[in-house]
């Protein structure tokens, strides 16, 4: 479970990138975090993962406060950032062993083989990451994030750069993870994907949370028989006109 309790973040005086965010992501669900560019999605995720400090409020991952219990909180989740361009001078296998060392993964060889074969990069692990395509780097970072079997998956635009087979496999893995009673929290601009796989969604714009709930609840509140894309545009456009 992931909990945001009255969370705010400002980058400059008088302007809040995230403004009083209250939201709970439950175990057993895939939760899609949606919003236009600059809405506050990545800022929220970077606070959740401890990359950015929180100005106000509290964020908990499996009951652990990311500010006061950072190690315990970080052990409870796996994080895939919006850019996979990290540790480029390392070989793929070196990167995965580095991640396994951080999280004390004992059965690493079996897990590394299983994950990298799933994403079809096993035969490239002895190559430097800088030689990988964008999609291969994304797959490697995904494998690293899942290596320690985290309860919470935190995925920032995880489908970017993935080929259709790998995207399909990841969605299947997300569903299985949630169905096992664990949590998937991911941001995406691909609303068709969110509509198909999410149990609930949250929509943020200009740092403010505009909606949290199921698609059925969204249709009941706004318009029936309308796609998530149309509802998203209506909700965010309405918020813009009321600024």
pLDDT at position 165, please? 86
Sequence-ordered alpha helix ranges (H) in the chain: 41-48, 70-75, 92-102, 108-118, 134-146, 164-179, 191-197, 215-221, 228-241
Q: 2-76+150-241, superfamily in CATH? A: P-loop containing nucleotide triphosphate hydrolases (3.40.50.300)
Main-chain dihedrals φ then ψ at residue 30, nearest 5 degrees? -95, 120
Burial class (CB in 10 A: 0-12, 13-18, 19+), 107: exposed
Pairing of strands 29-34, 208-213: unpaired
Give the residue extent of every domain in the chain: 2-76+150-241, 88-148
Complete edge-to-edge strand list for the sheet that includes strand 152-156: 77-80, 152-156, 183-187, 29-34, 200-205, 208-213
Instruction: Print pLDDT tens along the chain (243 aa).
Output: 999 999 999 987 667 899 999 999 999 999 999 998 888 999 999 999 999 999 999 999 999 999 999 999 999 999 998 888 888 999 999 999 999 999 999 889 999 999 999 999 999 999 999 999 988 999 999 999 999 999 999 999 888 878 888 888 889 999 999 999 999 999 988 888 898 999 999 999 999 999 999 988 888 887 766 788 888 888 887 665 555
State residue 224's pLDDT score: 65
Alpha-carbon gap, residue 156 to 34, rounded angstroms: 11
DSSP 8-state symbol, 79: E
| Per-residue pLDDT, 243 | 53
């Amino acid at each position: 479970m992931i909990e945001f309790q009255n969370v705010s973040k400002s980058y400059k005086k008088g302007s809040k990138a995230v403004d009083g965010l209250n939201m709970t992501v439950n175990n057993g669900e895939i939760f899609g975090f949606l919003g236009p560019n600059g809405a506050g999605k990545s800022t929220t995720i970077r606070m959740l993962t401890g990359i950015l400090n929180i100005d106000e409020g509290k964020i908990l991952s499996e009951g652990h406060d990311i500010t006061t219990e950072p190690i315990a909180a970080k052990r409870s989740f796996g994080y895939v950032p919006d850019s996979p361009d990290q540790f480029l001078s390392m070989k793929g296998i070196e990167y995965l062993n580095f991640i396994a060392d951080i999280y004390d993964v004992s059965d690493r060889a079996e897990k590394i083989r299983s994950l990298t074969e799933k994403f079809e990069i096993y035969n490239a692990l002895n190559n430097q990451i800088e030689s990988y395509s964008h999609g291969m780097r994304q797959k490697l970072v995904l494998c690293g994030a899942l290596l320690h079997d985290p309860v919470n998956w935190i995925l920032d635009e995880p489908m970017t750069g993935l080929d259709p087979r790998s995207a399909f496999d990841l969605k299947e893995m997300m569903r299985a993870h949630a169905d096992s009673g664990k949590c998937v929290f991911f941001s995406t601009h691909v609303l068709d994907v969110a509509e198909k796989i999410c149990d609930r969604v949250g929509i943020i714009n200009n740092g403010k949370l505009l909606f949290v709930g199921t698609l059925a609840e969204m249709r009941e509140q706004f318009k029936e028989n309308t796609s998530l894309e149309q509802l998203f545009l209506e909700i965010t456009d309405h918020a813009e006109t009321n600024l």
